[in-house]
Every structure is written in structure tokens, then in C-alpha cells.
Chain A
Amino acid sequence: MLTQHFPALLVVVPLVAAPIIVLARHALASWLIALLATAASFGIAAVLLDQTLADGVISYAMGSWEIPLGIEYRIDAAGAFVALIVAGMGLIAMPYSRVGIAAEVRSEEHYLYYALMMLCLAGLLGILVTGDAFNLFVFLEVSSLATYVLIAMGRDRRALVAAYQYLLMGTIGATLYVLGVGLLYLETGTLNLADMAARLVSVGDSRGVLAALAFITVGISLKIALFPLHLWLPNAYAYAPSPVSAFLAATATKVSIYVLMRYFFTIFGPTEVFDARATGAILLGLSLAAMFVPAIVAIFQHDMKRLLAYSSVSQIGYITLGISMDSVEGLMASAMHLFNHALTKGGLFLVLGGVVLRCRGAGFDRLAGLGHTMPMASFAMVVGGLSLIGVPGSAGFISKWYLVSAAMHEGQWWLVGAVLASSLLAVIYVWRFVEVAYFRAPPADHPAPGEAPLSMFLPALAMIVACVYFGIDATWSSDVAMRVAEVLMSSRSIVQ
């Protein structure tokens, strides 16, 4: 009985938890409520993924309104897969937050932090389950508004400016998206995504649809932080509290990438997006630029959090590269990297959070000699770094392997060289950390800090171990990623 309402409950549970937390106003109680709600969402996401892998699409009429008229919740393997990543990252971040935010968020604001995390989670999960273009915009703004506040909670005053800049860019992105949806609504007269996709086929080549494609692509690319629309991201990740950086790095941009995939392959259809226009070539060019320029910028950073943030922009390039190939292999590589990079970067930011707690900052001058003062954390950072590079035996290797084989499948041999060259840049920026942590003496003015508290280190360690596990046994992740790619590409196979 209850399982049939799971698509709605996935969103409703965290959404209801948020006001309860605000009413509770108690740090421990609000943490417990948030933890329970996140665990429930994770369980629901797991069940939904299991069901969608077995049965295909689950459609749910919100409020029992008849479907093309009322709002439809529609979840398939692609949405459920990303939902599992988002809820899973939330579930890792919650136990971590109890101690993790103590040093970075003022104690009277702790309950608000949990309430905002719940709103952000509800918004992100809502984007993944909704089958309605306008409803998607509302969820996008729910998650974004919560994100702006979470970033502004950072201890440094620069967090405020970072949040303000993200608010400007994020709102422009969301407004461009809703502008595109408006044009599609004028063309098709529907806001239901499945209905819209069906009607767009008969609309054919129209300037309105072209403009809608352009607005939606640029708007969502702003939220993805696709190079060169990434300028909000480094400061936002660098000055946000550590659990927030980890949660956002693993989820927010990934959900936006899902939205882009959804619009490209399910709604406009690859014929309109890739065959009729140069979208693929443009996306390929931007992805290549993203793989190189931010990676070079990352090398010159003096702060580990900023370095990881620029590395995120660079890694997003790999994911969009897979999309630009417009093939099942490319999409599968994208889905794989989406999962593996969420594990890697989420894990790295969580480990770094413990380091920031002990060293009171992530600047390289403070991290000097970390290999001696916090050997476990340093080692975990290095393992995560190896996964960023894509060393065999790490999750990053698996997704780069699929990306390279997808490029070879397309006959694009030069892309193999590009991926390798970009990985070499990753070697350099990861080496920057190794050099600082292992080959520099600890600063004389602060005593040996000791390892991070267990409640922070264990969740971080779990993510890093998962990086290695999914690098050695990628059966589950590659099977699911393959299904995701097939689901997204299904419209292509119907047309042909």
C-alpha cells in the first residue's frame, strides 16, 4: 500500500522534516529528525531504483489528478540512480554534521542548518522525480535557495559574498530555464514532460523550440557550472561549511547534469539536439576547455578547498564530454563518472572537513606536514586524489576507462589523448597536496593537531573505501549506468 506512494514520499519526508526541525529548535533533536528523514529518503530511493530497474517507469499522479492535467511524478532508472546518489550522500553527511558543523556554524544556528539541509535534499530529490517542467523549476529554486543560505553559514565573511554571487548566477540560470519552459509551453500547450516530448515531434522545426533549447541549455549549464559558467562555484565550495561543500559537490551539480540529459535525450530528443544542430560540437568544445583550463587553475591554488573546487569544474567536463558523444557508450561513461566523482569528491571534502577542524583552515601553510600530524586523514586524501587522477584500482579509473572506450567506439582517437593529458594535470594538482603534506615541516606555531573525531572520520573513510571498492568491483555501478544510458537513449532507438 505504502510503496505505491514512494515517489511522493521521497520528497515529502524531507520537506515535512524541515518545519518540524524549525519548531523543535534543539540541536540534538533536530539532528535526530534530520538523520531519520534522510535515512527514510535513502531507503525509499533504494526501493525506487530496484523497482525501476525491474519494471521501467513508475508514474504517480500527484493528488490523484488525471495525468496530463495534474502534476505527474515520473521516475525511471536514470532519476532513481541519481536520487540514490543524492540521498546516499545526505545519509553520509548527516552523522558527519553533528561534530562537523560545531566549529564552522554558530551553535544557535545548528537547527537551522539541519532544516536547510532537509529543504535542499527535498528540492534535489524533487527535481529527480517530477515529470512536470514547471514543477522542476520550483524544486530547482527550493534547493537553490536552501543552498545559498547553507553557503552563507560559513565562518568566513567571504562566504556571504560567495552566497550572494551564487544567488545572482543561480537565479539567472533558473530564470533562463523557466523562460525556455515558457517558450515550450507556448509551442506545445503542455507542461507535462512526457506529453511535451510527444507533442514536440509533431511541432517539428520551429524557432520557438530552438530558442527554448538555447535558453534551457544555458540556464541549466549555469547550475551545472559548465565551463565558462562556473565562476560561482570555487568560492561557494571554498567558504561553505565543510559538510555543505561535500554534500553540494556530490549532489547539486550532478542533479543539474541529470536535468540536461533529460532535456537533451528525452524531451527535445537527440535528433533535434544533436543531428539538426551543432550542440554536440559546442558541448564537446566546452567540455574539453573544462577538462583543461580549471585543472590548470587548480594547480596554482594555495588553499585545498579551492583546489578541490576547481578540480570539480574540471571533472564536470568529463561528464559533459560523455553527453556530447550522443551514444549509449558515452552516456554510460557520463553516468558512471557522475556516480564515481560524487563518491570521490564527496569523500575528499569530508576528509578535508576533519582537517579544517583540526588545523583551523585549509590553506597550504596550515596543511604543511599533515602527513605527520594527521597520517590517517592525509592517506585518505591521497587515496581520494588517486581516484581523481584515475589511477587503476580507483573508481575514477573505471569511469575514465569507459569514457576512453566510448571515444574509441566513436573513432575519436584524439579524445583518448585529451583525457590522458587532462589526467596528467590532475596528477600535478594532487601532487601539490602530497608535497605540502609529506615534504614540508609542520608550522612551528601550532601544536600537532591529532586525527579528526571518529564521527567525522568514519563517514569520510566510508566514502574513500567506496572509491576503492567501486574501482575494483564495478559490476553494480556499470550495470546500473548501462541501464541509465539505455533509458535515456531509448527515444533514439524508437526513431530509427
Chain B
Amino acid sequence: MTLASHFSYWVTVLLLMVGLFIVIARDNLIKKLIGLGIFQTAVYLLYIAPGKLIGGVAPIIGGQFAVYSNPLPHVLILTAIVVGVATLALGLALVVRIKEAYGSIDEDEILAMDARDDTSPVADRDGS
């Protein structure tokens, strides 16, 4: 009963956990960003699902309709999706630059290279 009636919440929690786990557990920088995307998507679901009423229609006032869905969550999440896309794009751009500078997108390898850099004070990105 509670599992069925709160289905969207269970999915939200599951996606949150899956996303966060990927961000923490994966070493591949791209996979981490995928995890971050799943994490954000979970929140979209949390907002959108309660806005829908069973039998509700789009909020355009008309004589034959009595139940309307709340449009505000959709509009909010449209904004959040734009923010998410911008974050993902920037994250991927950073990974491209990291790949150029380090020749790797594996976090462990990069941190090992950084540990070596720490012994030499100036490590220029352009090698100058």
C-alpha cells in the first residue's frame, strides 16, 4: 500500500542513492558526471510527480473541466533542467581540458600525477 502510493518517492530516493554512489565510487571523471546527472534527475521527479493530479488537465479554464494539474512544478523543473544541462556541459568541458593537460580521465591516475607535481612548485599547463 505505502510502497504503491509513494511509488514516485521510492524512485526518487533510489535514483538519488544510485547517482550519489556513482559520483563517489567511480574513478572515471565522465562516469562521475553521469552519476551527478542521475542525482539531479531524482530531484526533478520529486518536484514533477506531485504536480500531476489523476484526471487533471492542463490549467486552461474551461467549462467542462473541474480538476487541473499544477503547472508550477513543471516550470520550476524546466529551469532546473537548464541549470543541470549547463552544469553537465561545463563539467564535460573541464574533463576535456583535464584530458588535454594530464592525458587521463581516471581520478586515481590524475591524483598520482598531482602528488608528483607537489614536489615541483610550478607545473604549467602549457609546459612553459
Report which A residues bind B (CB closer than 8 A): 134, 137-138, 141, 145, 148-149, 152, 155-161, 163-164, 167-168, 171-172, 175, 178-179, 182-183, 185-186, 191, 360-361, 363, 365-366
Indicate the member of A160, A167, A360 with the most B CB atoms within 10 Å: A160
Bound CA–CA A461/B76 (angstroms): 45
Instruction: Output the nearest chain B residue to A159 by Cβ-Cβ distance.
Output: B125
Q: Are B94 and A175 in contact (CB under 8 A)?
A: no
9 contacts between A and B (CB under 8 A): A156-B123, A157-B125, A160-B94, A161-B114, A164-B94, A168-B36, A171-B40, A175-B39, A186-B50
CB-CB under 8 A from B17, the residues of chain A are none
Bound CA–CA A274/B117 (angstroms): 46
Bound CA–CA A384/B116 (angstroms): 32
Bound CA–CA A171/B34 (angstroms): 13
List of 8 A-B pairs having minimum Cβ-Cβ separation, nearest first: A157-B101, A363-B121, A157-B125, A141-B83, A164-B94, A160-B98, A361-B121, A182-B46
Q: Are B23 and A172 in contact (CB under 8 A)?
A: yes
A160 touching B101 in the complex, CB below 8 Å, given contacts A182-B43, A360-B122:
yes
- What's the minimum C-beta distance from A356 to chain B, rounded to whole angstroms? 10
Bound CA–CA A472/B124 (angstroms): 43
CB-CB under 8 A from B111, the residues of chain A are 161
> Helix, strand, loop or mixed for chain B's interface?
helix
Q: Does B18 contact A (CB under 8 A)?
A: no
Q: Does B57 contact A (CB under 8 A)?
A: no
Instruction: Output the nearest chain A residue to B75 by Cβ-Cβ distance.
Output: A134
Contact with A along B41-80 (1 / 0, CB 8 A): 0010011001000000000000000000000010010011
Q: Are B98 and A161 in contact (CB under 8 A)?
A: yes
Q: Are B123 and A158 in contact (CB under 8 A)?
A: yes
Q: Are B114 and A141 in contact (CB under 8 A)?
A: no
- What's the minimum C-beta distance from B30 to chain A, rounded to whole angstroms? 11
Q: Are B23 and A161 in contact (CB under 8 A)?
A: no
Q: Are A157 and B122 in contact (CB under 8 A)?
A: no
Q: Are B97 and A160 in contact (CB under 8 A)?
A: yes
CB-CB under 8 A from B97, the residues of chain A are 152, 160
Partner of B87, one of A141, A156, A158, A186: A141
Bound CA–CA A55/B74 (angstroms): 37
CB-CB under 8 A from A178, the residues of chain B are 43, 80
Bound CA–CA A361/B29 (angstroms): 28
Q: Are B94 and A157 in contact (CB under 8 A)?
A: no
Bound CA–CA A152/B125 (angstroms): 11
Q: Are B121 and A134 in contact (CB under 8 A)?
A: no
Bound CA–CA A361/B79 (angstroms): 41
Partner of A155, one of B80, B95, B124: B124
Instruction: Output the nearest chain B residue to A138 by Cβ-Cβ distance.
Output: B79
Q: Does B86 contact A (CB under 8 A)?
A: yes
Indicate the member of A138, A156, A171 with the most B CB atoms within 10 Å: A171
- Give 11 new A-B contacts, CB below 8 A, not counting A172-B36, A360-B122: A137-B80, A137-B83, A145-B87, A157-B98, A160-B97, A161-B111, A164-B29, A182-B43, A191-B76, A361-B122, A363-B121
Q: Are A148 and B83 in contact (CB under 8 A)?
A: no
Q: Are A172 and B39 in contact (CB under 8 A)?
A: yes
Q: Are B83 and A156 in contact (CB under 8 A)?
A: no
Q: Does B14 contact A (CB under 8 A)?
A: no
Instruction: Output the nearest chain A residue to B121 by Cβ-Cβ distance.
Output: A363
CB-CB under 8 A from A175, the residues of chain B are 39-40, 43
CB-CB under 8 A from B91, the residues of chain A are 164, 167-168
Indicate the member of A137, A145, A158 with the most B CB atoms within 10 Å: A158
Q: Are A366 and B114 in contact (CB under 8 A)?
A: no
Q: Are A161 and B90 in contact (CB under 8 A)?
A: no
Bound CA–CA A148/B101 (angstroms): 17
- What's the minimum C-beta distance from B40 to chain A, rounded to whole angstroms? 5
Q: Are B122 and A156 in contact (CB under 8 A)?
A: yes
CB-CB under 8 A from B40, the residues of chain A are 171, 175
CB-CB under 8 A from A172, the residues of chain B are 20, 23, 36, 39
Partner of B23, one of A138, A145, A168, A360: A168
A134 touching B76 in the complex, CB below 8 Å, given contacts A167-B90, A167-B91:
yes
Q: Does B102 contact A (CB under 8 A)?
A: yes
Contact with A along B86-128 (1 / 0, CB 8 A): 1100110011011001100000001100100100011111000
A157 touching B102 in the complex, CB below 8 Å, given contacts A168-B23, A182-B43:
yes
Q: Are B90 and A145 in contact (CB under 8 A)?
A: yes
Q: Are B87 and A167 in contact (CB under 8 A)?
A: yes
Instruction: Output the nearest chain A residue to B39 by Cβ-Cβ distance.
Output: A175
Instruction: Output the nearest chain A residue to B102 by Cβ-Cβ distance.
Output: A157
Bound CA–CA A221/B73 (angstroms): 26
Bound CA–CA A186/B6 (angstroms): 14
Q: Are B123 and A157 in contact (CB under 8 A)?
A: yes
Instruction: Output the nearest chain A residue to B125 by Cβ-Cβ distance.
Output: A157
CB-CB under 8 A from B47, the residues of chain A are 182, 185
- What's the minimum C-beta distance from B32 to chain A, rounded to whole angstroms? 6
Bound CA–CA A172/B111 (angstroms): 21
Q: Are A156 and B125 in contact (CB under 8 A)?
A: yes
CB-CB under 8 A from B76, the residues of chain A are 134, 191
Q: Are B90 and A148 in contact (CB under 8 A)?
A: yes
Q: Are A168 and B32 in contact (CB under 8 A)?
A: yes
CB-CB under 8 A from A141, the residues of chain B are 83, 86-87
Bound CA–CA A366/B122 (angstroms): 10
- What's the minimum C-beta distance from A381 to chain B, rounded to whole angstroms? 19
Instruction: Output the nearest chain A residue to B127 by Cβ-Cβ distance.
Output: A157
